[in-house]
Amino acid sequence: MREIVFDTETTGLEPLKGDRLVEIGAVELFNHLPTGRDFHIYINPERSMPVEAFRVHGLSDEFLADKPVFSALVDDFIEFIGDATLIAHNASFDIGFINAEFARLGKPPIGPERVIDTLALARRKHPMGPNSLDALCSRYGIDSSKRTVHGGLIDSVLLAEVYLELIGGRQPDLVLVPEVASEVRDDGGLVIVAPPQQRPVPRPFRVTAEEQAAHRAFIAKMGDGALWKNYLPEEVEPA
């Protein structure tokens, strides 16, 4: 099952009144484990940055001036998310901005049926709160020390860990997969240590010919009707 945990930064709170996206960060999960794939873009909002928004994410007009506009990035974003389930904290906010940008470009909106809101999950699990991302990281012992300001990618990485805790841990479906380690570099990039791959060469058969001969002799004493005779291995030449 493929899921995308994502976060946005914006110029304000009202996408239908002219506020725009300035950053999208997203990480991919498969069967509730990070794959190492991520998506991260800064966006020129084609308008000035209000002081209140700058204080939240630290993205200035000067920094965003040479970044691409959303129309130049939208196809890359759509390709990355594909048909995966989308996960965000206070998802109506992020999806509202995504859909407002899609509408400007004539793209179909993302429907609510493919969105999971981790804020709603947290409120059901911890009705007394608090349920901000910082508070949930603290509750679950997730290191958020590198999160000095809001940022699309680092918030997505932290939210992915919070989401796994909210649904019951890293392996809620009892999938016996090795743990995957992840961390965010100082420059905001994502580092993933992927799980081991399948052996390129099978392990050698470790039962010796002498051991097999002893096993066959033991089975022979059980008589012709012994079920074990159906599972005897092929003869192995003595070493």
pTM for the complete prediction? 0.69
Within 13 Å of residue 76, how many CA atoms lie on the same side as its CB?
A: 15
C-alpha angle 124/122/88, rounded to 5°? 125
Helix (H) or strand (E) holding 34, with range, is strand 33-42
pLDDT given at position 190: 47
Cα separation of 161 and 182, whole Å?
10
pLDDT given at position 235: 56
3-state secondary structure of 141: coil
Q: Residues 40, 57, 150, 215: which is the catalytic one?
A: 150
Cα separation of 14 and 115, whole Å?
20
- What are the structural domains of the chain? 2-193 (3.30.420.10), 198-233 (no CATH)
**Known catalytic residue at 150:** yes
pLDDT given at position 145: 78
Q: Kindly give the confidence (pLDDT) of every residue in the chain, 239 residues in length, as a single tens digit, with 9 standing for 90 and above.
A: 999 999 999 999 999 999 999 999 999 999 999 999 999 999 999 999 999 999 999 999 999 999 999 999 999 999 999 999 999 999 999 999 999 999 999 999 999 999 999 999 999 999 999 999 999 999 999 988 777 667 788 899 999 999 999 998 655 444 444 444 444 444 444 444 445 555 566 666 667 778 878 888 888 888 777 777 776 665 545 44
Q: For residue 108, say if its preceding peptide bond is cis, omega within 30 degrees of 0.
A: no
Which amino acid is located at 2 in the chain?
A: R
